[in-house]
Structure 1
Amino acid sequence: MRTRGVIAAAHRILGAAWSQDRSRIVVAALLMIGGALAAPALAVALAWTTGRFLAGDRAGAAGAGAVVAILAVITLTAAHFAHLYYFEISEQAELAFDQELAAASNGTAGVAHQERPEQADALTVLQRESRQFQAGLEALLSALGLIPAMLLTAVLLARVNPVLLLLPLAVLPPLFTARVAERITDRGRGASSEGTRLALNLFHLATAPRHGGELRIFALRDELGRRHERAWSQAMGRLWRAQARAALVRAAGQLVFIAAYALAVLLAVRASLAGDRPLGDVVLVIALAVQVNVQVTTAVTLSQNLSRIATAQDRLEDLKELAAQDSPRQEGHPVPDRLTHGIDLEAVGFTYPGATSPVLHDVSLHLPAGHTVAVVGENGAGKSTLVKLLLGLYRPDAGRITVDGTDRRDLPTQDWRERTSAGFQDFVRYEFTLGDAVGVGDLPHRDDPAAVGAALDRARALDVLTAVPDGAATRLGASHDGSDLSGGQWQKVATARAFMRPDPLLLVLDEPSSALDAASEDALFEQYAVTARRVGEAVGAVTVLISHRFSTVRSADLIVVLGHGTVAESGTHEELMGAGGTYAQLYRLQSHAYR
C-alpha cells in the first residue's frame, strides 16, 4: 500500500509539473541527468589523469585534467541551473495542494467536520507538509539522472572487478531503514500536532493587536509565554525523540554501506598491488564508491521525500473523504420562490463530534412563514446550534427539518444557501475595503454601490461609511495599514453584510447587537422589525433572532425558550408572561436589573 502511495505521489508531482510548463521540466530534467552522469564520468577522468601522470605523459595528463575540470563544473552546477527552471513550477504545485486543502476544509455543506479534533490535527500537519513539494519535485528530477548514473557506475565497477557489482546492493539496507525511519518521524509529527496547534494558538493570542489590551490589563504576557513554551517544548520533545530514534535507524543502515565501501577499496588496492590492475583503478574505485554513496544518499532522500508527500496525500484524501460525506447537494427539489407554510423542526436532535451527550434533543417547532421568531435561553441552551441546523451548517442526528413540507436535505444546498442570510455572533472581520466587507454578503452585487449603500442603511450603519476617510473604498483593518474599527462598528458591518441579500427566505441574526450601545441597539431593532416585515411580505421569509436582551425580543411574533437542549416554552410575549414560566422569570429578573 505504501509503495503504491509513493508511486501515486510521484505521478501526482510530475503530472502537476508537466501540466504547468513542459519546456521548463524538460530542460530541468536534462540538466539533472547531465549532472548525474557527469559524476561517474568524473571518476573515469580522474583515473585517466592518474594513469597519464604515472606514465609521465604530461600533455595527456594536462588534457585529462582539463576534462576533469569540465566534468567537475558540470557536476557542481547542473543541479543549480536546473533549480532555476523548476522552483517556480514547484511553487505552483504547492499552491495547488493548498487549494485542495482549503477545498477539503471549506468546500462542504456543513461545518461539523471542522470541529473534530482529529481533523484539526490533520490540518496542522498538512499546513506544514504543503511546503514539501519542491523537495519532492527535486528528488524526482534527481531520480531521472540517478538511474542512468547508477547503471554507468555499475558497468565501470564491473570492469574493475565483477565482485564490485555487489556494492550497489549495499544500498538496500539504508533504503529500508530510511523508510522505517520516515514512518517513525511521521508518527512523531502526528503525536506532536496537538501541542503544535496549541502553541500556534497561544502565539496568535500573544501577537494579535486586538488582544493586546486584555493581555496587558491582566498581565498575561508571561503566563502565555510559559504556556507557549510548555506546549511547544512538549510538541518538539515528542518530535525530537521520534527524530532521534529515526536517526539511529538510518545510521544502522548506513553502517552496512560503509562496511561494503571499505571492502570495495581493499579489493581494488589488493588487485593493484598484485599487478592485476593499474593504480588508476584504485582512484576509479574510490571515486566510484563515493559516487555510490552519493547515489545512496539521493535515493534515501528521494524515498523520504516521496514517502512524506505520499503520507500528506493520504491525509488529504482522508480529509476529502470526510468532507465528501457532507458534500453539497447539487440536485433535488427546487427551493420555493416564497414560503407559504414555513419551516418545521420535527423531533430534531444533534450531538457535537466527540461529545457524549446531545446539545439538542427532541426539538419540535413550527416557524411560520412571514414571521419573526426570537430564540432565547441561558448560555449553552443550544441557541446557536439551532440556527446552524436551520442554515444547514449542521445536519440533525435525529429527526428532520422541512421547508414548506420538503425535507431540507432534499433541497440543492447551493440553491438553499443563496436564499438564506445570517449575521453571526462570532462574525468575521474581513480586512477588505468597506464596500467589499459588506458586499461579499451577496457576491453578484458586491460591486454595486447602491446595493452596498442600501445594506448599510438597513443595518443602521451609514455612520460607519462617514466615519472612515475614503468611504466605501476605505481599506479596513490594521494588518494593511487600513482603518481599524471599533467593536460596534465591526458588528454593524457584519450586520450590513447579512442584509445584502434582498429577499432571503431565512434571515438569521445571532446576537446582532452585543457590541452596540443601548441607543444604537434600539435603533437597530426598529430597523430589524422593518426589514423582517418587508421580506416577510415579499417572500414569506422567516427571520430568526437570537438575543440575551429580552427587551429586544418582546415584539417578535413568536418567542422560543430553549432549556436543557429542548423547547421549554414558546408563544408570544404576552402568552409567555401570562404562563409565568422560565421566560417570565428571566424577563422580570432582567427588567429588575435594568431599573
Structure 2
Amino acid sequence: MKWSYGRLWAELLGMSWRCLPGATVTALVALAGSVVVLPVSTLALRSAVDSAGNHDAHRAVVSAALAAVAFAATAWFRQLGESVPQYIGNRVGRLVLHDRIHRDLATIDGLEHLERPEVLDRLALARRSQSRVMATLWNALRACAGILRLIASLLLMGSMNPWLLLLVVFAGVPVWCDHRSRALLADAEVAAAGQYRLQQHLFSVSTGFDSGKELRTAGTGRRVVELQESAWNDAARGRMRAHVLAAWWTICGWTVFTTAFVAGLGLMAYQALHGNGTSGDVVLTIVVATSLHQTVQSTANYTAETASSGTYIEPHLWLRTYIANLSTRSGTVQPSQSLTTGIVFENVSFRYHGTESNALDGVSVTLDAGSVVAIVGEYGSGKTTIAKLLNKFYTPDTGRILVDGVDMQMLVTASWRERISATFQDFGRFRTKMSEGIGLGDLAHIDDAAQIQSAAEFACVDELIERLPDGLSSQLGRGLGGVELSEGQWQRVALARGAMRERPLLFLLDEPTASLDAAAERAVYERYMERARRIGRECGTVTVIVSHRFSTVRSADKILVMQGGRLVEMGTHAELVASNGLYAELYSIHESAYLT
C-alpha cells in the first residue's frame, strides 16, 4: 500500500474531527478568518483616512471602527491558529496516532521487523514525533492560509503599482533556501538515529536495576557512561554540521528577499511623493508593506515546515507501508481441529536479515502427529530457528513447511497460533497481576479462575501463589509496588502461561527450564511429557522440545541433531548413541559433566 502526504493529511484531519470536533472547527475558522481580515482591515483603514480628508465624519468613524475590529480579530485569529492546532497535535498525536503505530507493530505476524536496523531507526524517530506528524497537517493548512494572505497583499499592492508583483518571485527565494536547509536537517536526523538509539540503550543499561548489579560488581559503570557519551557526541556532531549549513542557506535566502523588499518600499515612497495616489493609498501601502514582511516570513516558515515534513512523515509512512505489506502475508486456510499426518519440513532454508550464512540449510524432516520430537545441538546450530519458523515468526527463504499437507504460509496466522502452546527460554516477565500473568497464555480464558489455577498447579506455581499477599490478585514487579520474583519463579509463571491452552496442535518447549534447578527441571519435564502423550493421543498434537540438556530428551520419539543449520542426525536416543556420531559425542560430554 502506497501512502502519500495528501492521503495522510486527510486521515489526520478526519482523526482530529472524530476526537476533537470543536477544537478542529475552531482551528479551521481561525485559519480562514486570518485570510479575510487582512484585506478588510487595510481597505477599511484607507477608507477611514480618505473619508477624514474629505470631511466625511460618519464614513470615517464607521471605517475606523471596522478597521479596529478587523485588527483585533487578526490577533485573535493568530492566537487561535497557533494554540488550538498545538493542542490538537498533542492530544491526537500522542493518544491516538502514537498508540496506532505501536498497536500495528505489535500485531505484525512475524518478528523480523524487531531485528532490522532500518525498522528500528525509523521507529525511534516515530516514537518521539507523533505530535509533530499531526503538526505537519496544520503547518500545511497554515501555509495555504499564508499563501492566500500573501496573494491578497500582493493584489492590494499591485493595484498601487504592478511592479510590486515581482516580490512574489523574490519571496520564493527564502522558501527554496529553507527547503534546502530542512532537507539537510532531515538527512542528519536519519543518519544520527542509530547513534541516538544506541545512547538511549546505554542510558537504560547504566540506570537499570538488573544491569546495575552487574555493572557495579564488575566496576564497568563509568565505561558504559563513556560509551553513551561517545554515541551522543557522534549524533550531536552530525546534527550540528547540518544546522550550520542550514543556517547559511536561510541567511542567503532572506538577504535576497530583504533587498527586493527595500527596493519595493522605495518605489512606493517615490510614487507617493509625486502625487500619484491619495493619502489613504499611502497609508494602505505602508500597512500592507509592513504586514507583507510578516506574511511572507510566516508563509515561508510554514511552507518550509511543510516541505520539511519528511523528517517526521517519511519514517511514519515508511512504517505504515512496511506494516501494510507484512499484513498481506497471513494465509486464508483455517487449521484443522486435530492433526492426522503431522508437520513436514521440505528442504527448508532460512537466513536472518543482515547475516551472511544460513541459520537453516536444506532441512527436511517429518514430525509425525502425536509424536514427541526433541531438537538438540550446540548453540547457533539452528534449534531455536526451527521453533521460530513453526510459530510463523519468520517465513522460509526456500522450501516449505506443511501442516497435514497444507503449506503453513496458507494458514491464517492468528488461528494457527491459537492452536500453539509454547514456552520459550527468553520468556516474558509481565508486571501485571499474577492471574493475568498466567491468563495471558490464552486470552479466551484470561478470566477463567479454574483454568488459571489448573495451569498454575501444572507448572508448580500454586505453592508460590499461596505465599503471595493477595494470591492470584497480587501485583508483580517491585517497580509497580508489587512482589518481585526470582528468575526461576518468573520462569514457572511462564510455564503456567504456556499450559493455559489445553488442546494445542503444536506443543513447543524451547529451553523452558533453563532457570530451574535439576530437581525442578526433572519434575517439570515429567509433567510435560505426560501432558504431551495425552494430547498427542487426543488430537494428534506434535510436541517439540528444544534443549541442550540431554537428560530431558532421552524419552522423545525422535531426536533431531542440528549442526551449523543442517540436520545431521535423526533417530531415537538408543539409535543415535549406537551410531557413535555427533549425538553420541555430545551426550558423552554432557554425561561426563554431570558425573564430574
Q: Give the TM-score, by structure 2 length.
A: 0.90
Q: Distance in 2 between matches of 1:440 and 1:80?
A: 48
SS in structure 1 opposite 2:428? coil
Q: What CA deviation, in whole Å up to 9, does each residue of 1:174-223 have, x standing for no partner?
A: 22222222222221122111111211211221222222211211222211
Amino acid at match of 1:249: W
SS in structure 1 opposite 2:129? helix
Bigger drift between 72-81 and 220-229 goes to 72-81
Which residue of the partner structure matches residue 123 of structure 1?
Answer: 123
Amino acid at match of 2:76: T
Bigger drift between 24-33 and 226-235 goes to 24-33
Bigger drift between 310-319 and 149-158 goes to 310-319
Which residue of the partner structure matches residue 377 of structure 1?
Answer: 377
Tell me, yes or no, if the aligned pair for 1:458 and 1:531 is still in contact at 8 Å: no
Tell me, yes or no, if the aligned pair for 1:461 and 1:492 is still in contact at 8 Å: yes
Q: What CA deviation, in whole Å up to 9, does each residue of 1:394-439 have, x standing for no partner?
A: 1111221111222212222222111112212222222222211221
Q: Distance in 2 between matches of 1:49 and 1:234?
A: 61
Q: What CA deviation, in whole Å up to 9, does each residue of 1:286-341 have, x standing for no partner?
A: 44234223222332333333334456444444434444454365654441211122
Identify if the C-alpha distance between structure 1 residues 61 and 230 changes in structure 2 by more than 3 Å, giving closer, same or farther: farther
Identify if the C-alpha distance between structure 1 residues 138 and 326 changes in structure 2 by more than 3 Å, giving closer, same or farther: closer
Which residue of the partner structure matches residue 422 of structure 2?
Answer: 422
Q: Distance in 1 between matches of 2:284 and 2:10?
A: 36
Identify if the C-alpha distance between structure 1 residues 55 and 334 changes in structure 2 by more than 3 Å, giving closer, same or farther: closer
Alignment of 1:192-341 (within 5 A): 192-277=192-277, 284-309=284-309, 312-327=312-327, 332-341=332-341
Which residue of the partner structure matches residue 492 of structure 2?
Answer: 492
Residue 346 of structure 1 pairs with residue 369 of structure 2: no
Identify if the C-alpha distance between structure 1 residues 247 and 569 changes in structure 2 by more than 3 Å, giving closer, same or farther: same
Alignment of 1:454-493 (within 5 A): 454-493=454-493
Q: Distance in 2 between matches of 1:398 and 1:105?
A: 26
Amino acid at match of 2:508: V
- Sequence identity percentage: 35
Bigger drift between 514-523 and 335-344 goes to 514-523
SS in structure 2 opposite 1:394? coil
Which residue of the partner structure matches residue 17 of structure 1?
Answer: 16
Bigger drift between 516-525 and 416-425 goes to 516-525
Shift of 1:168: 3.1
Shift of 1:445: 0.8
Tell me, yes or no, if the aligned pair for 1:329 and 1:414 is still in contact at 8 Å: no
Identify if the C-alpha distance between structure 1 residues 44 and 240 changes in structure 2 by more than 3 Å, giving closer, same or farther: farther
Q: Distance in 1 between matches of 2:375 and 2:594?
A: 21
Tell me, yes or no, if the aligned pair for 2:26 and 2:80 is still in contact at 8 Å: no
Identify if the C-alpha distance between structure 1 residues 171 and 574 changes in structure 2 by more than 3 Å, giving closer, same or farther: same
Tell me, yes or no, if the aligned pair for 2:351 and 2:358 is still in contact at 8 Å: yes
Residue 101 of structure 1 pairs with residue 106 of structure 2: no
Alignment of 1:42-191 (within 5 A): 70-82=69-81, 85-87=84-86, 89-90=88-89, 91-93=91-93, 95-102=95-102, 104-143=104-143, 145-191=145-191
Q: What CA deviation, in whole Å up to 9, does each residue of 1:7-61 have, x standing for no partner?
A: 4444333333334444432222112333454456556677788889999999999
Q: Distance in 2 between matches of 1:327 and 1:110?
A: 10
Tell me, yes or no, if the aligned pair for 2:140 and 2:303 is still in contact at 8 Å: no
Shift of 1:388: 0.5
SS in structure 1 opposite 2:399? strand
Bigger drift between 348-357 and 18-27 goes to 18-27
Alignment of 1:540-579 (within 5 A): 540-579=540-579
**Which ranges of structure 2 fall in alignment gaps of 5 or more residues?**
none
Q: Distance in 2 between matches of 1:95 and 1:489?
A: 35
Q: Distance in 2 between matches of 1:476 and 1:250?
A: 54
SS in structure 1 opposite 2:475? coil
Q: Distance in 1 between matches of 2:331 and 2:378?
A: 38
SS in structure 1 opposite 2:354? coil
Q: Distance in 2 between matches of 1:139 and 1:326?
A: 31
SS in structure 1 opposite 2:504? coil
Tell me, yes or no, if the aligned pair for 2:343 and 2:403 is still in contact at 8 Å: yes
User: Alignment length, in residue pairs?
Assistant: 593
Identify if the C-alpha distance between structure 1 residues 419 and 72 changes in structure 2 by more than 3 Å, giving closer, same or farther: same
Tell me, yes or no, if the aligned pair for 1:113 and 1:323 is still in contact at 8 Å: no
Identify if the C-alpha distance between structure 1 residues 579 and 13 changes in structure 2 by more than 3 Å, giving closer, same or farther: same
Amino acid at match of 1:127: R
SS in structure 2 opposite 1:441? coil
Q: Distance in 2 between matches of 1:23 and 1:148?
A: 24
Shift of 1:505: 0.7
Q: Distance in 1 between matches of 2:129 and 2:594?
A: 54
Q: Give the TM-score, by structure 1 length.
A: 0.90
Identify if the C-alpha distance between structure 1 residues 427 and 49 changes in structure 2 by more than 3 Å, giving closer, same or farther: farther
Q: Distance in 1 between matches of 2:489 and 2:298?
A: 57
Which residue of the partner structure matches residue 583 of structure 2?
Answer: 583
SS in structure 2 opposite 1:197? helix
Q: What CA deviation, in whole Å up to 9, does each residue of 1:84-103 have, x standing for no partner?
A: 65455433255443344335
Q: Distance in 2 between matches of 1:53 and 1:224?
A: 76
Which residue of the partner structure matches residue 450 of structure 1?
Answer: 450
Tell me, yes or no, if the aligned pair for 1:174 and 1:296 is still in contact at 8 Å: no
Q: Distance in 2 between matches of 1:179 and 1:54?
A: 46
Identify if the C-alpha distance between structure 1 residues 24 and 320 changes in structure 2 by more than 3 Å, giving closer, same or farther: closer
Q: What CA deviation, in whole Å up to 9, does each residue of 1:232-260 have, x standing for no partner?
A: 11112222222322222222222221112
Q: Distance in 2 between matches of 1:12 and 1:437?
A: 36
Shift of 1:391: 1.4
Amino acid at match of 2:23: R
Shift of 1:563: 0.8
Which residue of the partner structure matches residue 28 of structure 2?
Answer: 29
Shift of 1:143: 4.0
Alignment of 1:501-516 (within 5 A): 501-516=501-516
Bigger drift between 268-277 and 480-489 goes to 268-277
SS in structure 2 opposite 1:344? strand
Q: Distance in 1 between matches of 2:454 and 2:304?
A: 57
Q: Distance in 1 between matches of 2:11 and 2:28?
A: 17
Q: What CA deviation, in whole Å up to 9, does each residue of 1:365-387 have, x standing for no partner?
A: 22222222221111111111111
Q: Distance in 1 between matches of 2:344 and 2:409?
A: 13
SS in structure 1 opposite 2:497? helix
Amino acid at match of 2:213: G
Q: Distance in 2 between matches of 1:304 and 1:5?
A: 18
Q: Distance in 2 between matches of 1:383 and 1:283?
A: 83
Q: Distance in 2 between matches of 1:327 and 1:58?
A: 72
Tell me, yes or no, if the aligned pair for 2:93 and 2:131 is still in contact at 8 Å: no
Identify if the C-alpha distance between structure 1 residues 555 and 353 changes in structure 2 by more than 3 Å, giving closer, same or farther: same
SS in structure 1 opposite 2:543? strand
Which residue of the partner structure matches residue 528 of structure 1?
Answer: 528
